[in-house]
Each structure stands twice: as C-alpha cells, then as structure tokens.
Amino acid sequence: MESESNKEFDEEDALKFIKNHLPQNLKNKYGDDDILLLIDTMYDYYDAEDELDPDGDGVTLNLIKLVDYVKKCLRKDIDNVIDMDDVKPIVLAEIDYENSLEE
C-alpha cells in the first residue's frame, strides 16, 4: 500500500485547509480567488528567491521577507481586497498546509 506522505498540492484542499486554520474573524472574509492570488504570490516569491528546496525536503524561507514580498505585490494589484494586516495569518495557514503535505 502506498504511503500518504508527501502528497501533492491540491488547490481545493489548500483553500479548505487555509480557511479552517485562519482566525475566526478571517474565515469568511475573503473569497477563494483572493486566497489563490495570495498563494500564487507566495509561489512567485519562492521562484524569485529560489526558496524551494530542490530535494523536496521542505521549504526553507525567511518568513519576514516572504510576508513583505506578498504585501508589496498585493499593494500593486488594483483588484486585491486583502487587508495588509491579514496577509501574515493567511501566509502562515498556507505554510501549515504545505507542511501537512509532508506528514
């Protein structure tokens, strides 16, 4: 039987996980597209900063730089509705999702 560890990223699972792990006041504040925009921005950072571990042993990152990068990009996006104070909790929930894939 195949192990469940190292599952692949699934957009729908990620959205459910993130929303379930956000503080109560944020759970229904943003739509799926808003959260996906933030996730895409995180992955842009990973690509730009070469922060993904090529061996698949996990993500090595500087959280402060990541959050700053995401905020900077979201500020430039005229369609963005995510409040800058809400970026860090969403980023942390997404990182928790990534980590859950390795369990």
Residue indicated by tokens 């690509």: 47
Kindly tell me if the per-residue pLDDT of 89 is higher than 60.
Answer: yes
Residue 24, token pair as written in the block = 């109560």
Q: What's the pTM value of the predicted model, to 2 decimals? A: 0.83
Cα separation, 70 vs 49, in Å, equals 13
Angle at 42 (CA atoms; ends 68, 81), nearest 5 degrees: 75
Phi, psi of 59 (to 5 degrees): -100, 130
Q: Which of 1-10, 67-76, 93-102 is least confident?
A: 1-10
Given a contact cutoff of 8 angstroms between Cβ atoms, the answer to whether 98 and 63 are in contact is no
Kindly tell me if the per-residue pLDDT of 11 is higher than 90.
Answer: yes
Where are the domains positioned within the chain? 11-100
pLDDT per residue as tens digits for the range 15-72: 999 999 999 999 899 999 999 999 999 999 988 887 655 444 554 568 999 999 999 9
Q: How many residues does the chain have?
A: 103
